[in-house]
């Protein structure tokens, strides 16, 4: 066989070593053979090869001739390696010496080749055992060498080849498990290697995304318990390790890739991913001037399970950016944190100016950083509100959702001088001092400065008992609420009346759904089902599509009965109907809606009929269905005059059902999804 090594390297001595040093090295090598389990015959052959090299290098004439040959070969073949010709009987010993001389990759390739037909050894022979063991050892060392050069995917492919070889040979299960453990521990590095490559290498980038999805799934989510494989000797990935890794890879992912990942994990029940999906959708919508993405973010935020963190700051920012100033005012006024409310009250500008300043800080610190294709410094609220597509979208929402015109009471954001005339630019970058994370670290929250920087001079919030990786998404609401550390001072138009931080002198309204342009208006539904026909609870473990359609239609009918009345209060019988098909939060929403209509002297009639339903997802505790609804409405004043209406048309609405005990009830609905 041709062994790619010379006598000096095989023996492990310098070309300038004298005879005494060579003999000493020979004795040392023979006295310390590898102890990984090679056969006695292979080790004897190894010693013979070492002695042959020592004999040649200690003979003056033979050495001089050999060195001259090396010089000639190097000159005539400058890019090739000088090798040794060995008899077949010395194959294993030569490969062991090549591996010991740090030629792990060549040793693995040659040992693997030796195990393939027609060179394959006899089953059960010592040669088969030695080559199989050598292939495993050399594979692990070659993978380590590749990792040292930051070629993590190349290292992983070597380990895959080694594992497949061990599986085929079926001889050394312990070595196979070690290779599998090395491959498992390498997974985060492979992902980082693949997704950090240029986007022109789409095959590698997509493979990295697939591996990332697999890693999160095997961990049990973003806040999974410490990830330790069942493979003996495998590396472990603690929660801290995962957080550090996740912070590194985000900067190599586009905003759309993050939306797809977080949305997929959220749909599988990951609450933490749900918050991150909201942030990514907001970043995409603001940076690309797509208000419909902000609507999706708001709808997803409202569907997230209850947590100890207050969602009102996020809802306030999203409604403000969507031009729904009145709803934004409700959300900001309902923020639970007393210190944050005090900051708003003490703000030197008017209320709308404070909200805009707050929103800008939230975008710049907690939303826009952390994406490959989003400029985190381009935070220009003037440009956002001046964008014609944004204005058209907001005006269309006003018409579809029958919002009360805001121009008479509250100015729209683009009607106020957000930054013009103040000598300031909305997009001025955040200084390094503003990005200090020292305050977070004092509270045990080790967050990277590029993602959630601490806002300096404002009051701190108490530490919240959630895993840190959850805070990567959900703390955007809390940190944004203390976002007054920016220099921009916003002023509302002088002729616009100031907005109080607390809603006064009008009925207190809940957070409306703010559905998109095809959304169900905040209106009543024309009863399709008489009051004397009771709605039966849905208790089937696996409801049929017809049962789901009946429940949705029951909700529409019950809501119609509730909102079509003349009195302020919803009748008890109607409340009972709603409670049968929907959770209490939706009943309270309907009651508040009716109270608001009554205060304005309005009644509304809506005709809504479910034409079809399609199950989108189903688990033992949650069902999402997409329904087609034939819909029209009218809004009447006290005299019965029609003051607004929506012509008949078809809507697509997604209804989310949850199981309360044995009963299925409506939890939320999203129009246009």
Q: Domain ranges in the chain?
A: 2-190, 248-481, 545-671
Question: What is d(CA 83, CA 465) in angstroms, rounded to the nearest whole number?
Answer: 64
Cα dihedral 295→461→486→336 (10° resolution): 50
Name the residue with higher pLDDT: 474 or 172: 172
Work out whether the CA dihedral 535, 536, 541, 547 comes out positive or negative. Answer: negative
| Residues in Cβ contact with 55 at an 8 Å cutoff, skipping those fewer than 6 apart | 62
Q: How confident is the model at residue 236 (pLDDT cuts 50, 70, 90)?
A: low
In angstroms, rounded to a whole number, what is the distance separating the alpha carbons of residues 165 and 215? 25
What six digits make up the tokens of 284? 């995409």
Give the CA distances from residue 362 to residues 197, 290, 307, 485, 489, in Å, rounded to whole numbers and listed in that order. Answer: 30, 18, 20, 11, 15
Model confidence at 474, in pLDDT bands (50, 70, 90)? Answer: very low
The region of weakest confidence among 42-51, 113-122, 394-403, 612-621 is: 394-403
Angle among Cα 531, 532, 536 to the nearest 5 degrees reads 90
Highest CATH level, class, for 545-671: alpha beta
pTM for the complete prediction?
0.55
Between the CA of residue 293 and those of 42, 261, 279, 359, 570, what are the distances in Å? 68, 16, 10, 17, 35
In terms of pLDDT, which residue wins out, 126 or 430?
A: 126
CA distance readout (Å), 396 to 291, 320, 517, 525: 12, 16, 6, 21
* Contact of 192 with 170, CB cutoff 8 Å: no
Distance between CA atoms of residues 424 and 434, nearest Å: 18
Q: Mean pLDDT across the chain, nearest whole number?
A: 77
User: Of 181-185, 231-235, 382-386, which gets the smallest average pLDDT?
Assistant: 231-235
The pLDDT value recorded for residue 504 is 31
**N- to C-terminal Cα distance for the chain?**
67
491/142: higher pLDDT: 142
CA angle 386, 392, 394 (to 5 degrees): 90
pLDDT at 225 (0 to 100): 52
DSSP 620: S
Of all residues in the chain, the percent with pLDDT exceeding 90 is 39
| Model pLDDT for residues 109-133, shown as the tens digit of each residue | 999 999 988 888 888 899 999 999 9
Torsion of CA 383, 385, 389, 392, to 10 degrees: -160
Q: How confident is the model at residue 461 (pLDDT cuts 50, 70, 90)?
A: very low
Question: Which pLDDT belongs to residue 458?
Answer: 29
Q: What is the pLDDT of residues 542-596, one digit of tens each?
A: 999 999 999 999 999 888 888 887 666 778 888 888 989 998 878 888 887 888 7
């Amino acid at each position: 066989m041709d062994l790619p090594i010379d006598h000096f390297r095989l023996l492990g001595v310098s070309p300038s070593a004298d005879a005494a040093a060579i003999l000493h090295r020979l004795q040392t090598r023979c006295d310390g053979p590898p102890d990984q389990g090679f056969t006695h015959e292979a080790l004897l052959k190894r010693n013979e090869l070492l002695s042959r090299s020592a004999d040649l290098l200690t003979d003056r004439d033979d050495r001089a001739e050999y060195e001259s040959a090396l010089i000639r070969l190097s000159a005539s073949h400058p890019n090739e390696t000088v090798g040794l010709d060995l008899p077949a009987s010395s194959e294993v010993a030569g490969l062991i010496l090549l591996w010991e001389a740090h030629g792990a990759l060549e040793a693995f390739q040659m040992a693997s080749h030796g195990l393939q037909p027609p060179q394959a050894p006899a089953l059960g022979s010592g040669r088969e055992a030695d080559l199989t063991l050598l292939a495993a050892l050399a594979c692990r060392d070659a993978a380590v060498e590749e990792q040292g050069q930051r070629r993590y995917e190349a290292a992983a492919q070597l380990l895959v080849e080694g594992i497949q070889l061990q599986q085929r040979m079926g001889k050394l299960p312990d070595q196979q498990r070690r290779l599998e453990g090395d491959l498992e521990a390498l997974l985060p590095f492979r992902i980082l290697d693949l997704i950090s490559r240029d986007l022109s290498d789409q095959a590698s980038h997509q493979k990295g995304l697939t591996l990332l999805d697999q890693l999160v799934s095997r961990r049990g989510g973003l806040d999974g318990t410490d990830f330790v494989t069942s493979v003996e000797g495998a590396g472990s990935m603690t929660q801290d390790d995962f957080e550090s890794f996740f912070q590194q890879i985000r900067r190599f992912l586009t905003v759309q890739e993050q939306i797809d990942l977080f949305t997929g994990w959220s749909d599988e029940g990951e609450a933490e991913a749900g918050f991150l999906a909201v942030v990514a959708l907001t970043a995409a919508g603001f940076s690309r001037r797509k208000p419909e993405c902000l609507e999706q973010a708001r709808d997803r935020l409202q569907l997230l399970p209850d947590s100890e963190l207050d969602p009102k700051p996020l809802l306030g920012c999203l409604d403000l950016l969507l031009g729904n100033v009145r709803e934004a005012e409700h959300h900001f006024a309902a923020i639970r944190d007393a210190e944050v409310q005090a900051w708003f009250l003490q703000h030197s500008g008017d209320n709308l100016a404070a909200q805009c300043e707050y929103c800008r800080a939230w975008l710049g610190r907690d939303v826009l950083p952390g994406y490959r294709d989003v400029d985190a410094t381009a935070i220009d609220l003037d440009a956002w509100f001046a964008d014609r597509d944004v204005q058209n979208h907001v005006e269309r929402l006003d018409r579809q959702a029958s919002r009360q015109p805001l121009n008479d009471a509250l100015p729209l954001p683009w009607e106020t001088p957000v930054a013009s005339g103040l000598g300031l630019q909305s997009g001025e970058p955040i200084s390094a001092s503003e990005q200090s994370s020292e305050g977070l670290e004092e509270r045990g929250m080790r967050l990277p400065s590029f993602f959630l920087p601490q806002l300096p001079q404002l009051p701190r919030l108490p530490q919240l008992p959630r895993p840190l990786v959850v805070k990567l998404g959900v703390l955007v609401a809390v940190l944004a609420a203390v976002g007054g550390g920016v220099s921009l001072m916003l002023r509302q138009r002088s002729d616009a009346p100031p907005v109080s931080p607390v809603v006064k002198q009008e009925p207190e309204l809940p957070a409306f759904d703010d559905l998109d342009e095809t959304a169900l208006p905040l209106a009543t539904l024309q009863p399709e089902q008489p009051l004397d026909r009771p709605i039966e609870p849905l208790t089937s473990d696996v409801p049929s599509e017809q049962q789901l359609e009946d429940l949705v239609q029951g909700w529409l009918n019950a809501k119609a009965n509730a909102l079509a009345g003349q009195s302020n209060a919803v009748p008890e019988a109607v409340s009972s109907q709603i409670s049968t098909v929907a959770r209490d939060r939706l009943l309270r929403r309907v009651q508040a809606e009716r109270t608001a209509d009554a205060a304005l002297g309005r009644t509304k009639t809506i005709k809504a009929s479910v034409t079809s339903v399609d199950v989108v997802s189903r688990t033992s505790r949650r069902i999402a269905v997409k329904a087609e609804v034939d819909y029209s409405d009218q809004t009447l004043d006290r005299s019965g005059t029609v003051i607004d209406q929506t012509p008949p048309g078809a809507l697509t609405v997604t209804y989310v059902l949850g199981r309360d005990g044995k009963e299925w009830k409506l939890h939320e609905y999203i129009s246009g999804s």
